Homo-oligomer: A and B are copies of this chain.
Amino acid sequence: MQTIGFSCVNIKDGFWKTKQDMLKNTTVDAVYDRFVETFRFDALKCQPSEKYIPHVFWDSDIAKWIEGACYLLAKEKNPDLLAKVESAVDDIIAGADENGYFNSHYLVTEQQDRFKFRNKHELYCAGHLIEAAIAHRDATGSDRFLRAMCKYADYIEKVFKIEKSAGFVTPGHPEIELALVRLYLCTGEKRYFELAAYFIDEHGKHGESVVETASPKYNQDEMPLCDRETIDGHCVRALYLFSAAADVAFMRGDRKLAEACRRVFDNLVNKRMYITGASGSTDMGEAYTIDYHLPNRTAYAETCASYALALFGRRMFCLEHNAKYADAVERVLYNGFLSGVSLDGKAFFYENPLEIDPEFNGYSQATVRNARFPITQRKEVFSCSCCPPNVIRLIASLGDYMYSYDDDVLYVHQYVNSVMECDGMTVEQITEYPKSGSVKLKFDTHGRKLALRIPGWCRNFKIDRAYMLTGGYAVIADASGVVNVEFDMAVTLIRANRRVHSNAGRLAVMRGPVVYCAEGVDNGKDVRNLCIDLDSKFEVKASPFLLPTLHTTAYQQPESDELYAVAKDNWIQTPLTLIPYYAFANRGESEMIVWLLEK
Protein backbone atom coordinates (compact mmCIF):
# COMPACT_ATOMS: atom_id res chain seq x y z
CA MET A 1 0.00 0.00 0.00
CA GLN A 2 1.35 3.37 -0.98
CA THR A 3 -0.02 6.83 -0.59
CA ILE A 4 0.15 9.09 -3.59
CA GLY A 5 1.78 12.42 -2.82
CA PHE A 6 0.44 15.84 -3.65
CA SER A 7 3.10 16.36 -6.32
CA CYS A 8 1.12 13.92 -8.46
CA VAL A 9 -2.18 15.73 -7.91
CA ASN A 10 -3.20 19.01 -9.46
CA ILE A 11 -6.23 20.67 -7.98
CA LYS A 12 -7.91 22.48 -10.84
CA ASP A 13 -10.89 24.39 -9.66
CA GLY A 14 -13.47 24.65 -6.94
CA PHE A 15 -13.36 24.83 -3.17
CA TRP A 16 -9.81 23.76 -2.48
CA LYS A 17 -8.39 25.59 -5.48
CA THR A 18 -9.81 28.77 -3.95
CA LYS A 19 -8.15 27.90 -0.65
CA GLN A 20 -4.83 27.09 -2.34
CA ASP A 21 -5.03 30.41 -4.19
CA MET A 22 -5.66 32.12 -0.87
CA LEU A 23 -2.46 30.53 0.45
CA LYS A 24 -0.26 31.75 -2.36
CA ASN A 25 -1.90 35.16 -2.70
CA THR A 26 -2.20 35.99 0.95
CA THR A 27 -1.44 33.49 3.68
CA VAL A 28 2.13 32.56 2.89
CA ASP A 29 3.12 36.25 2.81
CA ALA A 30 0.99 37.24 5.78
CA VAL A 31 2.54 34.55 7.97
CA TYR A 32 6.00 35.48 6.68
CA ASP A 33 5.46 39.14 7.52
CA ARG A 34 4.25 38.36 11.02
CA PHE A 35 7.25 36.09 11.60
CA VAL A 36 9.58 38.83 10.36
CA GLU A 37 7.95 41.37 12.65
CA THR A 38 8.33 39.06 15.61
CA PHE A 39 12.08 38.51 14.91
CA ARG A 40 11.67 34.84 14.14
CA PHE A 41 13.57 35.19 10.84
CA ASP A 42 16.23 37.45 12.40
CA ALA A 43 16.81 34.77 15.00
CA LEU A 44 18.00 32.34 12.31
CA LYS A 45 21.18 34.41 12.02
CA CYS A 46 22.08 33.09 15.46
CA GLN A 47 23.49 36.40 16.66
CA PRO A 48 22.81 37.77 20.12
CA SER A 49 20.26 40.55 20.03
CA GLU A 50 18.90 42.97 22.55
CA LYS A 51 15.53 42.93 20.87
CA TYR A 52 14.61 39.33 21.50
CA ILE A 53 15.64 36.01 22.95
CA PRO A 54 14.72 33.32 20.43
CA HIS A 55 12.18 30.95 21.90
CA VAL A 56 13.27 27.32 21.75
CA PHE A 57 10.41 26.53 19.37
CA TRP A 58 10.76 29.50 16.99
CA ASP A 59 12.72 27.40 14.49
CA SER A 60 9.73 25.10 14.11
CA ASP A 61 7.53 28.02 13.05
CA ILE A 62 10.06 29.01 10.40
CA ALA A 63 10.65 25.43 9.28
CA LYS A 64 6.93 24.83 8.83
CA TRP A 65 6.62 28.05 6.90
CA ILE A 66 9.52 27.01 4.64
CA GLU A 67 7.94 23.61 4.16
CA GLY A 68 4.58 25.12 3.23
CA ALA A 69 6.19 27.70 0.96
CA CYS A 70 8.15 24.95 -0.79
CA TYR A 71 4.90 23.02 -1.36
CA LEU A 72 3.60 26.08 -3.18
CA LEU A 73 6.89 26.54 -5.07
CA ALA A 74 6.77 22.91 -6.16
CA LYS A 75 3.54 23.72 -8.01
CA GLU A 76 4.24 27.20 -9.29
CA LYS A 77 7.29 29.41 -9.69
CA ASN A 78 7.42 32.48 -7.48
CA PRO A 79 10.85 34.18 -7.41
CA ASP A 80 9.95 36.48 -4.58
CA LEU A 81 8.79 33.64 -2.35
CA LEU A 82 11.77 31.53 -3.39
CA ALA A 83 14.13 34.32 -2.40
CA LYS A 84 12.59 34.49 1.07
CA VAL A 85 12.92 30.72 1.43
CA GLU A 86 16.51 30.63 0.24
CA SER A 87 17.53 33.44 2.53
CA ALA A 88 16.17 31.54 5.52
CA VAL A 89 17.82 28.33 4.34
CA ASP A 90 21.11 30.20 3.93
CA ASP A 91 20.91 31.36 7.52
CA ILE A 92 20.12 27.91 8.85
CA ILE A 93 22.97 26.27 6.95
CA ALA A 94 25.37 29.03 7.95
CA GLY A 95 24.28 29.01 11.55
CA ALA A 96 24.43 25.27 12.16
CA ASP A 97 27.10 23.99 14.48
CA GLU A 98 30.00 21.99 13.06
CA ASN A 99 28.42 18.81 14.39
CA GLY A 100 25.20 19.61 12.54
CA TYR A 101 23.23 20.89 15.52
CA PHE A 102 20.82 23.73 14.90
CA ASN A 103 18.59 25.61 17.29
CA SER A 104 18.54 29.39 17.17
CA HIS A 105 18.06 29.57 20.92
CA TYR A 106 20.81 27.21 22.07
CA LEU A 107 23.29 28.40 19.46
CA VAL A 108 23.17 31.86 21.02
CA THR A 109 22.47 31.23 24.68
CA GLU A 110 22.60 28.42 27.23
CA GLN A 111 24.91 26.45 24.92
CA GLN A 112 25.72 24.05 27.72
CA ASP A 113 22.08 23.02 27.97
CA ARG A 114 21.70 21.54 24.49
CA PHE A 115 19.71 18.30 24.52
CA LYS A 116 19.57 18.49 28.28
CA PHE A 117 15.90 19.22 28.97
CA ARG A 118 13.16 17.15 27.48
CA ASN A 119 10.65 19.97 27.24
CA LYS A 120 12.86 22.31 25.26
CA HIS A 121 11.55 21.35 21.83
CA GLU A 122 14.97 20.92 20.15
CA LEU A 123 14.02 17.58 18.57
CA TYR A 124 10.61 18.95 17.68
CA CYS A 125 12.30 21.82 15.83
CA ALA A 126 14.78 19.40 14.29
CA GLY A 127 11.93 17.32 12.93
CA HIS A 128 10.33 20.32 11.31
CA LEU A 129 13.66 21.44 9.87
CA ILE A 130 14.10 17.99 8.35
CA GLU A 131 10.62 18.08 6.82
CA ALA A 132 11.33 21.56 5.50
CA ALA A 133 14.59 20.36 3.95
CA ILE A 134 12.82 17.50 2.19
CA ALA A 135 10.21 19.90 0.83
CA HIS A 136 12.98 22.30 -0.20
CA ARG A 137 14.81 19.57 -2.11
CA ASP A 138 11.56 18.55 -3.82
CA ALA A 139 10.72 22.14 -4.75
CA THR A 140 14.17 23.38 -5.81
CA GLY A 141 16.10 20.27 -6.79
CA SER A 142 18.96 21.45 -4.59
CA ASP A 143 19.92 19.19 -1.72
CA ARG A 144 22.01 21.75 0.21
CA PHE A 145 19.44 22.14 2.98
CA LEU A 146 18.73 18.40 3.00
CA ARG A 147 22.42 17.60 3.41
CA ALA A 148 22.68 19.96 6.36
CA MET A 149 19.69 18.34 7.97
CA CYS A 150 21.01 14.81 7.31
CA LYS A 151 24.12 15.88 9.17
CA TYR A 152 21.93 17.11 12.02
CA ALA A 153 19.97 13.83 11.99
CA ASP A 154 23.25 11.92 12.13
CA TYR A 155 24.28 13.97 15.13
CA ILE A 156 20.95 13.30 16.81
CA GLU A 157 21.40 9.58 16.19
CA LYS A 158 24.83 9.78 17.78
CA VAL A 159 23.69 11.69 20.85
CA PHE A 160 20.44 9.83 21.49
CA LYS A 161 20.92 6.33 20.12
CA ILE A 162 24.60 5.59 19.96
CA GLU A 163 26.18 7.54 22.80
CA LYS A 164 22.98 8.10 24.76
CA SER A 165 24.55 11.25 26.11
CA ALA A 166 21.42 13.45 26.08
CA GLY A 167 19.54 14.44 29.20
CA PHE A 168 16.54 12.37 28.18
CA VAL A 169 15.66 9.37 26.02
CA THR A 170 12.73 10.35 23.82
CA PRO A 171 11.51 13.70 22.51
CA GLY A 172 9.30 15.76 24.81
CA HIS A 173 7.23 16.89 21.84
CA PRO A 174 7.01 14.25 19.12
CA GLU A 175 7.54 15.31 15.50
CA ILE A 176 11.06 14.14 14.65
CA GLU A 177 9.75 10.57 14.39
CA LEU A 178 7.51 11.60 11.49
CA ALA A 179 10.35 13.54 9.94
CA LEU A 180 12.86 10.70 10.22
CA VAL A 181 10.49 8.32 8.48
CA ARG A 182 10.16 10.83 5.65
CA LEU A 183 13.94 11.33 5.63
CA TYR A 184 14.39 7.60 5.22
CA LEU A 185 11.88 7.51 2.36
CA CYS A 186 13.61 10.49 0.77
CA THR A 187 17.23 9.33 1.17
CA GLY A 188 16.89 5.55 1.42
CA GLU A 189 19.08 5.67 4.53
CA LYS A 190 17.65 2.96 6.83
CA ARG A 191 19.34 4.45 9.92
CA TYR A 192 16.84 7.26 9.89
CA PHE A 193 13.93 4.86 9.99
CA GLU A 194 15.62 2.97 12.78
CA LEU A 195 16.10 6.12 14.80
CA ALA A 196 12.40 6.95 14.34
CA ALA A 197 11.49 3.42 15.43
CA TYR A 198 13.87 3.72 18.39
CA PHE A 199 12.09 6.85 19.63
CA ILE A 200 8.71 5.17 19.16
CA ASP A 201 9.80 1.99 20.92
CA GLU A 202 11.44 3.74 23.86
CA HIS A 203 8.52 6.08 24.35
CA GLY A 204 6.73 5.37 27.59
CA LYS A 205 9.35 2.97 28.87
CA HIS A 206 11.21 5.49 30.99
CA GLY A 207 8.37 7.35 32.70
CA GLU A 208 9.87 10.60 31.50
CA SER A 209 7.97 13.75 32.24
CA VAL A 210 8.55 16.88 30.25
CA VAL A 211 8.85 18.84 33.44
CA GLU A 212 8.74 17.65 37.01
CA THR A 213 5.34 19.12 37.66
CA ALA A 214 3.66 17.42 34.71
CA SER A 215 2.25 13.93 34.74
CA PRO A 216 3.89 11.47 32.33
CA LYS A 217 0.38 11.13 30.90
CA TYR A 218 0.65 14.67 29.57
CA ASN A 219 3.32 13.36 27.31
CA GLN A 220 1.96 9.89 26.54
CA ASP A 221 4.76 8.57 28.72
CA GLU A 222 2.90 6.59 31.34
CA MET A 223 3.13 3.35 29.35
CA PRO A 224 4.67 1.95 26.17
CA LEU A 225 2.69 2.85 23.07
CA CYS A 226 1.83 -0.78 22.39
CA ASP A 227 -0.12 -1.00 25.62
CA ARG A 228 -2.24 2.07 25.06
CA GLU A 229 -6.03 1.79 24.94
CA THR A 230 -6.99 5.46 24.83
CA ILE A 231 -5.67 8.73 23.46
CA ASP A 232 -4.45 10.88 26.31
CA GLY A 233 -2.45 13.90 27.25
CA HIS A 234 -1.41 16.82 25.06
CA CYS A 235 -3.42 16.37 21.91
CA VAL A 236 -0.89 17.51 19.29
CA ARG A 237 1.89 15.48 20.89
CA ALA A 238 -0.38 12.44 21.02
CA LEU A 239 -1.42 12.69 17.39
CA TYR A 240 2.07 13.40 16.02
CA LEU A 241 3.36 10.47 18.04
CA PHE A 242 0.70 8.04 16.85
CA SER A 243 1.01 9.21 13.26
CA ALA A 244 4.66 8.25 13.39
CA ALA A 245 3.83 5.05 15.26
CA ALA A 246 1.45 4.11 12.44
CA ASP A 247 4.27 4.71 9.94
CA VAL A 248 6.62 2.51 11.94
CA ALA A 249 3.99 -0.19 12.48
CA PHE A 250 3.24 -0.30 8.77
CA MET A 251 6.81 -0.21 7.56
CA ARG A 252 8.06 -2.97 9.78
CA GLY A 253 4.84 -4.98 9.82
CA ASP A 254 4.42 -4.59 13.56
CA ARG A 255 0.93 -5.92 14.30
CA LYS A 256 1.02 -5.18 18.00
CA LEU A 257 1.88 -1.55 17.45
CA ALA A 258 -0.64 -1.37 14.62
CA GLU A 259 -3.34 -2.67 16.97
CA ALA A 260 -2.48 0.02 19.51
CA CYS A 261 -2.70 2.66 16.80
CA ARG A 262 -6.12 1.34 15.80
CA ARG A 263 -7.37 1.32 19.40
CA VAL A 264 -6.17 4.86 19.95
CA PHE A 265 -7.70 6.05 16.69
CA ASP A 266 -11.02 4.42 17.54
CA ASN A 267 -11.01 5.86 21.03
CA LEU A 268 -10.46 9.28 19.53
CA VAL A 269 -13.11 9.22 16.82
CA ASN A 270 -15.69 7.26 18.81
CA LYS A 271 -15.37 8.97 22.18
CA ARG A 272 -13.15 12.05 22.26
CA MET A 273 -13.62 13.95 19.01
CA TYR A 274 -15.81 16.95 18.39
CA ILE A 275 -18.21 16.70 15.48
CA THR A 276 -15.86 19.09 13.67
CA GLY A 277 -13.03 16.56 13.85
CA ALA A 278 -11.27 18.81 16.30
CA SER A 279 -10.11 17.31 19.57
CA GLY A 280 -8.63 18.18 22.93
CA SER A 281 -11.28 19.01 25.51
CA THR A 282 -9.29 21.27 27.79
CA ASP A 283 -6.68 23.99 27.55
CA MET A 284 -5.09 22.65 30.76
CA GLY A 285 -2.21 20.75 29.20
CA GLU A 286 -3.89 21.29 25.79
CA ALA A 287 -5.18 17.83 26.35
CA TYR A 288 -7.66 15.03 26.03
CA THR A 289 -9.73 14.39 29.12
CA ILE A 290 -12.13 11.45 29.45
CA ASP A 291 -14.55 9.70 27.11
CA TYR A 292 -17.52 11.82 26.07
CA HIS A 293 -16.28 14.94 27.83
CA LEU A 294 -16.67 17.38 24.95
CA PRO A 295 -17.54 20.82 26.30
CA ASN A 296 -18.41 23.23 23.51
CA ARG A 297 -17.66 26.65 24.96
CA THR A 298 -14.39 25.70 26.61
CA ALA A 299 -13.26 23.34 23.86
CA TYR A 300 -9.54 23.38 23.28
CA ALA A 301 -9.78 21.87 19.80
CA GLU A 302 -6.44 23.13 18.54
CA THR A 303 -6.04 23.70 14.82
CA CYS A 304 -2.76 21.72 14.94
CA ALA A 305 -4.55 18.73 16.49
CA SER A 306 -7.01 18.81 13.64
CA TYR A 307 -4.11 18.95 11.20
CA ALA A 308 -2.52 16.04 13.02
CA LEU A 309 -5.69 13.94 12.81
CA ALA A 310 -5.37 14.23 9.03
CA LEU A 311 -1.79 12.98 9.31
CA PHE A 312 -2.89 10.10 11.52
CA GLY A 313 -5.87 9.10 9.37
CA ARG A 314 -3.80 9.13 6.19
CA ARG A 315 -1.31 6.73 7.76
CA MET A 316 -3.89 4.46 9.37
CA PHE A 317 -5.34 3.55 5.99
CA CYS A 318 -2.10 1.76 5.18
CA LEU A 319 -2.73 -0.46 8.21
CA GLU A 320 -6.41 -1.11 7.61
CA HIS A 321 -8.43 -0.49 4.47
CA ASN A 322 -11.38 1.13 6.09
CA ALA A 323 -13.15 4.29 5.05
CA LYS A 324 -13.34 5.51 8.65
CA TYR A 325 -9.84 6.89 8.33
CA ALA A 326 -10.55 9.01 5.25
CA ASP A 327 -13.90 9.95 6.82
CA ALA A 328 -12.00 11.45 9.73
CA VAL A 329 -9.66 13.26 7.35
CA GLU A 330 -12.63 14.71 5.46
CA ARG A 331 -14.43 15.68 8.67
CA VAL A 332 -11.47 17.63 9.94
CA LEU A 333 -10.58 19.20 6.59
CA TYR A 334 -13.95 20.90 6.11
CA ASN A 335 -14.56 21.78 9.72
CA GLY A 336 -12.27 21.81 12.74
CA PHE A 337 -9.13 22.37 10.70
CA LEU A 338 -10.46 24.89 8.18
CA SER A 339 -12.04 27.02 10.92
CA GLY A 340 -8.44 27.69 11.95
CA VAL A 341 -7.99 30.24 9.17
CA SER A 342 -10.06 33.32 8.38
CA LEU A 343 -11.81 33.62 5.04
CA ASP A 344 -9.27 36.28 3.99
CA GLY A 345 -6.39 33.94 4.82
CA LYS A 346 -4.67 36.32 7.20
CA ALA A 347 -5.78 35.35 10.67
CA PHE A 348 -5.91 32.16 12.66
CA PHE A 349 -7.55 30.36 15.51
CA TYR A 350 -5.37 28.29 17.78
CA GLU A 351 -8.49 26.96 19.51
CA ASN A 352 -11.76 26.28 17.74
CA PRO A 353 -14.71 26.28 20.14
CA LEU A 354 -18.11 24.97 19.10
CA GLU A 355 -19.99 27.64 20.97
CA ILE A 356 -19.28 31.26 21.76
CA ASP A 357 -21.12 33.66 23.96
CA PRO A 358 -19.14 36.89 23.97
CA GLU A 359 -21.07 38.44 26.84
CA PHE A 360 -20.80 35.54 29.26
CA ASN A 361 -17.39 34.38 28.02
CA GLY A 362 -15.98 37.85 28.34
CA TYR A 363 -17.34 38.33 31.80
CA SER A 364 -16.25 34.93 33.03
CA GLN A 365 -12.78 35.17 31.60
CA ALA A 366 -12.07 38.64 32.91
CA THR A 367 -13.69 38.42 36.27
CA VAL A 368 -14.68 34.98 37.40
CA ARG A 369 -11.44 33.34 36.33
CA ASN A 370 -12.60 29.82 37.14
CA ALA A 371 -13.72 29.37 33.58
CA ARG A 372 -11.40 30.02 30.69
CA PHE A 373 -12.61 30.36 27.14
CA PRO A 374 -10.96 30.38 23.73
CA ILE A 375 -10.59 33.76 22.06
CA THR A 376 -13.52 34.72 19.87
CA GLN A 377 -11.70 36.42 16.99
CA ARG A 378 -8.77 35.10 14.97
CA LYS A 379 -5.31 36.63 15.42
CA GLU A 380 -2.57 37.12 12.84
CA VAL A 381 0.20 35.73 14.99
CA PHE A 382 0.60 34.08 18.38
CA SER A 383 3.57 33.91 20.73
CA CYS A 384 3.24 30.17 20.13
CA SER A 385 2.36 30.40 16.46
CA CYS A 386 2.34 26.75 15.50
CA CYS A 387 -1.09 26.77 13.85
CA PRO A 388 -0.66 29.32 11.02
CA PRO A 389 2.11 27.45 9.16
CA ASN A 390 0.25 24.17 9.65
CA VAL A 391 -2.63 25.74 7.76
CA ILE A 392 -0.25 26.40 4.89
CA ARG A 393 1.30 22.94 5.06
CA LEU A 394 -1.99 21.09 4.97
CA ILE A 395 -3.85 23.07 2.33
CA ALA A 396 -0.78 23.18 0.07
CA SER A 397 -0.30 19.42 0.38
CA LEU A 398 -3.98 18.50 0.23
CA GLY A 399 -3.28 16.14 -2.68
CA ASP A 400 -1.44 13.91 -0.20
CA TYR A 401 -4.73 12.81 1.31
CA MET A 402 -6.60 11.77 -1.81
CA TYR A 403 -5.26 8.47 -3.11
CA SER A 404 -3.58 5.25 -2.03
CA TYR A 405 -2.86 2.18 -4.08
CA ASP A 406 -1.46 -1.29 -3.99
CA ASP A 407 -1.02 -3.85 -6.74
CA ASP A 408 -4.74 -4.55 -6.99
CA VAL A 409 -6.65 -1.46 -6.09
CA LEU A 410 -6.44 2.30 -6.45
CA TYR A 411 -8.32 3.95 -3.60
CA VAL A 412 -9.99 7.32 -3.97
CA HIS A 413 -10.28 8.84 -0.49
CA GLN A 414 -11.32 12.42 -1.16
CA TYR A 415 -13.35 14.11 -3.84
CA VAL A 416 -11.71 17.24 -5.16
CA ASN A 417 -11.83 18.70 -8.64
CA SER A 418 -8.37 17.61 -9.81
CA VAL A 419 -6.15 15.49 -11.98
CA MET A 420 -3.89 12.80 -10.58
CA GLU A 421 -1.10 11.17 -12.55
CA CYS A 422 1.18 8.64 -10.89
CA ASP A 423 2.94 5.46 -12.03
CA GLY A 424 0.82 5.10 -15.13
CA MET A 425 -2.40 5.77 -13.26
CA THR A 426 -4.56 8.77 -14.00
CA VAL A 427 -7.73 9.96 -12.37
CA GLU A 428 -9.49 13.13 -13.36
CA GLN A 429 -12.19 14.22 -10.93
CA ILE A 430 -14.73 16.64 -12.31
CA THR A 431 -16.87 17.89 -9.46
CA GLU A 432 -18.07 20.82 -7.41
CA TYR A 433 -17.97 18.64 -4.32
CA PRO A 434 -18.99 19.35 -1.62
CA LYS A 435 -21.15 22.13 -3.02
CA SER A 436 -22.75 19.38 -5.08
CA GLY A 437 -22.62 15.63 -4.56
CA SER A 438 -21.94 14.80 -8.22
CA VAL A 439 -18.49 13.49 -9.05
CA LYS A 440 -17.42 12.37 -12.49
CA LEU A 441 -14.20 10.35 -12.49
CA LYS A 442 -12.29 9.64 -15.67
CA PHE A 443 -9.82 6.98 -14.70
CA ASP A 444 -7.12 4.63 -15.85
CA THR A 445 -5.82 2.59 -12.94
CA HIS A 446 -3.10 0.82 -14.89
CA GLY A 447 -4.91 -2.48 -14.42
CA ARG A 448 -6.17 -2.04 -10.91
CA LYS A 449 -9.67 -1.93 -9.53
CA LEU A 450 -10.95 1.48 -8.55
CA ALA A 451 -12.26 1.91 -4.99
CA LEU A 452 -14.39 4.94 -4.23
CA ARG A 453 -14.95 5.99 -0.66
CA ILE A 454 -18.59 6.23 0.32
CA PRO A 455 -18.46 8.97 2.93
CA GLY A 456 -19.67 7.94 6.36
CA TRP A 457 -22.12 10.84 6.40
CA CYS A 458 -23.79 9.70 3.15
CA ARG A 459 -26.98 7.69 3.42
CA ASN A 460 -27.89 7.57 -0.28
CA PHE A 461 -25.66 7.45 -3.28
CA LYS A 462 -25.70 6.31 -6.90
CA ILE A 463 -22.83 4.93 -8.95
CA ASP A 464 -23.38 4.27 -12.63
CA ARG A 465 -21.18 1.19 -12.69
CA ALA A 466 -21.32 -2.16 -10.96
CA TYR A 467 -19.55 -2.11 -7.59
CA MET A 468 -19.01 -4.12 -4.46
CA LEU A 469 -19.00 -2.40 -1.08
CA THR A 470 -16.09 -3.32 1.14
CA GLY A 471 -14.69 -1.44 4.12
CA GLY A 472 -16.74 1.61 3.19
CA TYR A 473 -15.38 1.70 -0.39
CA ALA A 474 -17.35 0.94 -3.55
CA VAL A 475 -14.95 -1.20 -5.56
CA ILE A 476 -15.34 -1.13 -9.33
CA ALA A 477 -13.70 -3.93 -11.28
CA ASP A 478 -13.00 -1.83 -14.36
CA ALA A 479 -9.53 -0.45 -14.84
CA SER A 480 -10.48 2.51 -16.97
CA GLY A 481 -13.34 4.60 -18.22
CA VAL A 482 -15.70 7.09 -16.69
CA VAL A 483 -17.77 6.65 -13.59
CA ASN A 484 -20.40 9.05 -12.31
CA VAL A 485 -21.11 9.13 -8.63
CA GLU A 486 -23.91 11.01 -6.97
CA PHE A 487 -23.79 11.48 -3.23
CA ASP A 488 -27.03 12.66 -1.68
CA MET A 489 -26.27 16.06 -0.18
CA ALA A 490 -29.45 16.31 1.86
CA VAL A 491 -29.17 18.34 5.02
CA THR A 492 -28.80 15.94 7.92
CA LEU A 493 -29.49 16.40 11.61
CA ILE A 494 -27.02 14.72 13.89
CA ARG A 495 -27.42 13.68 17.47
CA ALA A 496 -24.52 13.06 19.79
CA ASN A 497 -24.20 10.02 22.00
CA ARG A 498 -26.23 10.51 25.13
CA ARG A 499 -23.07 10.37 27.21
CA VAL A 500 -22.00 13.69 25.69
CA HIS A 501 -23.78 15.74 28.30
CA SER A 502 -22.94 19.08 26.75
CA ASN A 503 -24.98 18.13 23.69
CA ALA A 504 -27.98 16.64 25.50
CA GLY A 505 -31.19 17.61 23.75
CA ARG A 506 -29.32 19.21 20.90
CA LEU A 507 -28.85 18.60 17.19
CA ALA A 508 -26.06 19.51 14.83
CA VAL A 509 -26.75 20.29 11.21
CA MET A 510 -24.56 18.87 8.45
CA ARG A 511 -24.73 18.96 4.71
CA GLY A 512 -22.36 16.44 3.24
CA PRO A 513 -19.14 16.65 5.23
CA VAL A 514 -19.76 20.20 6.31
CA VAL A 515 -20.87 21.05 9.85
CA TYR A 516 -23.00 24.17 10.17
CA CYS A 517 -23.38 26.73 12.91
CA ALA A 518 -25.67 29.61 13.81
CA GLU A 519 -24.12 32.99 14.50
CA GLY A 520 -25.65 35.88 16.38
CA VAL A 521 -24.85 38.21 13.50
CA ASP A 522 -27.51 36.41 11.46
CA ASN A 523 -29.80 35.20 14.21
CA GLY A 524 -29.79 37.72 17.04
CA LYS A 525 -29.15 37.09 20.70
CA ASP A 526 -29.53 33.87 22.63
CA VAL A 527 -28.71 31.39 19.89
CA ARG A 528 -28.58 28.76 22.63
CA ASN A 529 -32.38 28.99 22.65
CA LEU A 530 -32.93 28.40 18.96
CA CYS A 531 -34.81 25.16 18.36
CA ILE A 532 -35.11 23.05 15.28
CA ASP A 533 -36.90 19.76 14.96
CA LEU A 534 -36.44 16.56 13.03
CA ASP A 535 -38.90 17.77 10.40
CA SER A 536 -37.20 21.10 9.79
CA LYS A 537 -36.85 21.80 6.07
CA PHE A 538 -33.75 23.63 4.97
CA GLU A 539 -33.36 25.91 1.99
CA VAL A 540 -29.87 25.79 0.50
CA LYS A 541 -28.60 29.14 -0.79
CA ALA A 542 -25.38 30.16 -2.48
CA SER A 543 -23.27 32.27 -0.16
CA PRO A 544 -20.04 34.26 -0.01
CA PHE A 545 -18.56 31.46 2.11
CA LEU A 546 -18.02 29.27 -1.02
CA LEU A 547 -20.33 26.59 0.31
CA PRO A 548 -24.01 27.36 0.71
CA THR A 549 -25.83 28.69 3.72
CA LEU A 550 -28.88 26.89 5.07
CA HIS A 551 -32.16 28.53 5.96
CA THR A 552 -35.13 27.31 7.89
CA THR A 553 -37.62 28.40 10.49
CA ALA A 554 -36.56 27.92 14.07
CA TYR A 555 -38.41 28.38 17.32
CA GLN A 556 -37.43 30.32 20.35
CA GLN A 557 -38.89 31.59 23.56
CA PRO A 558 -40.12 35.17 23.57
CA GLU A 559 -38.19 37.79 25.49
CA SER A 560 -39.52 38.22 28.98
CA ASP A 561 -38.96 40.13 32.21
CA GLU A 562 -39.70 37.07 34.31
CA LEU A 563 -36.79 34.95 35.48
CA TYR A 564 -38.93 31.84 36.08
CA ALA A 565 -42.41 31.39 34.66
CA VAL A 566 -44.89 28.58 34.24
CA ALA A 567 -43.89 26.88 31.01
CA LYS A 568 -46.26 27.39 28.14
CA ASP A 569 -46.20 26.18 24.57
CA ASN A 570 -45.39 29.72 23.57
CA TRP A 571 -42.56 29.22 21.13
CA ILE A 572 -42.29 31.88 18.51
CA GLN A 573 -41.07 31.29 15.01
CA THR A 574 -37.94 32.98 13.81
CA PRO A 575 -35.91 32.65 10.62
CA LEU A 576 -32.72 30.67 11.13
CA THR A 577 -29.60 31.10 9.02
CA LEU A 578 -26.80 28.58 9.31
CA ILE A 579 -23.36 29.07 7.85
CA PRO A 580 -20.57 26.54 7.40
CA TYR A 581 -18.81 26.18 10.72
CA TYR A 582 -15.43 26.93 9.16
CA ALA A 583 -16.71 30.42 8.30
CA PHE A 584 -17.61 31.47 11.83
CA ALA A 585 -16.13 34.62 13.36
CA ASN A 586 -15.47 36.34 10.06
CA ARG A 587 -17.99 39.12 10.58
CA GLY A 588 -17.10 40.48 13.99
CA GLU A 589 -17.56 39.07 17.45
CA SER A 590 -20.84 37.25 17.77
CA GLU A 591 -22.61 34.48 19.55
CA MET A 592 -22.07 31.15 17.78
CA ILE A 593 -23.42 27.67 18.30
CA VAL A 594 -23.09 24.33 16.54
CA TRP A 595 -25.44 22.24 18.65
CA LEU A 596 -28.94 23.65 18.36
CA LEU A 597 -31.80 22.76 20.65
CA GLU A 598 -34.14 20.05 19.46
CA LYS A 599 -37.76 21.07 19.74
Contacts and interface: CB of A to CB of B under 8 A. Distances in A.
Interface of A: 269-271, 273, 275, 281-284, 289-290, 292-293, 298, 357, 359-360, 363-364, 367-372, 459, 492-501, 504-508, 525-526, 528-529, 531, 534, 556-569, 597-598
A275 B564 contact: yes
12 contacts: A270-B562, A283-B370, A284-B369, A292-B563, A298-B371, A494-B565, A498-B526, A498-B558, A499-B525, A504-B528, A504-B529, A505-B597
Contact of A497 (B504, B506, B564, B568): B564
Given A282-B370, A500-B563, 8 more contacts: A270-B563, A275-B564, A282-B364, A284-B368, A289-B364, A357-B501, A459-B566, A494-B564
B273 A569 contact: no
Contact of A566 (B273, B494, B499, B561): B494
A290 B363 contact: yes
Copies in the complex: 2
Contacts of A506: 505
Contact of A567 (B534, B559, B560): B534
A127 to B, nearest CB: 29
A368 B218 CA distance: 11
A539 to B, nearest CB: 19
A531 B506 CA distance: 12
Contact of A563 (B269, B507, B528): B269
A564 B495 contact: yes
Nearest to A287: B368
Chain B CB count within 10 A is highest, among A492, A529, A556, A597, for A529
A283 B492 CA distance: 41
Nearest to A282: B368
A560 B498 contact: yes
Given A562-B270, A563-B500, A566-B459, A290 B495 contact: no
A562 B290 contact: no
Nearest to A501: B528
Which 4 pairs of residues, A with B, have the shortest CB-CB distance?
A495-B567, A505-B597, A498-B557, A493-B567
Given A492-B566, A505-B597, A367 B289 contact: yes
